[in-house]
Amino acid sequence: MAQPDWHAMEAAEAARHFAVDPAQGLDEAEAKERLKAYGPNRPSAKAARSGFARFFSQLIQPLVLVLIAAGTVTVFLGEWIDAGVIFGVVLINAVVGFIQEGKAESALAALARTIAAEATVLRNGKRYKLDAAALVPGDMVILSAGDKIPADLRLLGGKELRTAEAALTGESTPVDKSPGPLPADTVLAERRNMAYTGTLAVAGQGAGVVVATGDASETGRISQLIAQAPDLVTPLTVKIGAFPQRLLVAILLLAAITFAIGILRGESAFDRFMAAVALAVAAIPEGLPAAMTITLAIGVARMARRRAIIRKLPAVETLGSTTVICSDKTGTLTENAMTVREIWAGGKLFSVTGHGYSPAGAIELEGEAATVAGALRETLMAGALCNDARLVHEERQWTVAGDPTEGALLTAARKGSLDEVTLNSVFARLDELPFDSTRQYMATLHNVEGVQLVYMKGAVACSSAAGNANTEIGLE
């Protein structure tokens, strides 16, 4: 059934559609009934293949089938050593492919577990933390900076809410959200009153009613399209599929010629037949499948070390043959990680080393380690205190929960030995002025050694108008 144009509705109308009071949310009994009707809030998983099916699929490759045929013929000829070698190669090839594919599927399953999210939900007039899988259409979800959007939401209200939607739309910069209705023909990337599953709230607060879960969400639809994709066909698999046919024709032709020449010379038909079979077996490149599998497995292992998961071995050959990648948006192919490169403070230009959100790096002045004091220290403190993001270190990787630019400022502060957690505990935030696209700056009030100080960050022109144009940070 087609979904209504939620973005074209008034916020209150969307809530009435699901018979929910935005101030109270659903009651538990109704939520349980809807969970039975709509199912868990997760995309339907494609049925996993059994271990036997995965192993058997390694044995029906074209070259492997040729090897099995050759091994069978050598068994009938009584050449047990040759048959053992051939079937050994077949077994090794199958085991390597089976193990590699199993590792890839395990990695994909682990990746799916990492994206599981919790949601703050309003039910019976009270706020609860629930697993996102328990959400149902009509649930009232409360959003804060750093939250992952757990379902497709029609936003009912908010304060300076911005979301990062690169995973869905490819748009690299955060999108400002507002609850007002939009024209029905507004494209998905411009629906400012909607928040979509899997995207991230990077600033502000908001609230919305769940309008779609699981397969009905925009992300769920993409998941279903991926599940319907045809089996992998790469240039390498096409060539491998054609090679055995050509090889078989050539081998049979040579064997027939050998047999015919022997008969014409008056030799025994049985002896010539055995010689022709021996020639056919010898002509089959037994080591080619194993060599090809090992080479591709090495390529997959190298890609895995660079955090690229490749499920099917032949795909690595296609990826390695890529010469041009076309993209319609700059942010699609970036890491979505900002890094502070330069700091202008106290009339001096400081350079910052390091990459991404890892605090490994240093602040330098003319190639030498800089002393973090005076204007430089105050600049780093401003970036760390006037900030709503937080750095997260998981599985030996640094990420940011919140706005990427704010994450870059926290990283720069850590490179100057200033930890934002310690700073916020010592210099408590008393009040704040959230970032606004009109004034183009954010400000926070802190108690610094008994004195109330305002730290602010934003566009240089606006900061100058506010009398604070002494510092500037260069990002990339």
- The residues that are catalytic are 328
Which residue type occupies 238?
V
Can you list the alpha helix ranges (DSSP code H) found in 334-430?
A: 374-385, 404-415, 420-426
CA distances from 122 to 138, 256, 378, 430 (A): 10, 80, 41, 28
Q: What whole-number distance in Å separates Cα of residue 182 and Cα of residue 39?
A: 30
What is the 3-class SS of 158-213, one letter each residue?
EEEEEEECHHHHCCCCCEECCCCCCCCCCCHHHCCCEECCCCEEEEEEEEEEEEEC
Asked if residue 159 lies in contact with residue 204, where contact means CB atoms within 8 angstroms, the answer is: yes
| Token pair listed for 199 | 């995207």
**385 — phi, psi (to 5°)?**
-85, -40
Asked if residue 9 lies in contact with residue 209, where contact means CB atoms within 8 angstroms, the answer is: no
Which residue type occupies 354?
G
Cα–Cα nearest to 90, from 234, 248, 278, 285: 285
CA distances from 150 to 129, 172, 197, 200, 215 (A): 12, 20, 5, 9, 13
DSSP assignment, residue 349?
Answer: E
CA distances from 180 to 10, 36, 66, 383, 465 (A): 7, 32, 65, 33, 31
| Token pair listed for 446 | 């802190």
Asked if residue 222 lies in contact with residue 197, where contact means CB atoms within 8 angstroms, the answer is: no
Q: What whole-number distance in Å separates Cα of residue 202 and Cα of residue 307?
A: 24
DSSP assignment, residue 46?
Answer: P
Cα–Cα nearest to 206, from 194, 190, 218: 194
What's the gap between Cα 32 and its chain centre?
A: 31
**Rg of the Cα trace of the chain?**
31
Placement of tokens 């002393």 in the chain: 371
Q: What whole-number distance in Å separates Cα of residue 129 and Cα of residue 413?
A: 32
Asked if residue 420 lies in contact with residue 410, where contact means CB atoms within 8 angstroms, the answer is: yes
φ/ψ bin of 395: left (φ > 0), alpha (ψ from -120 to 50), beta (otherwise) = left
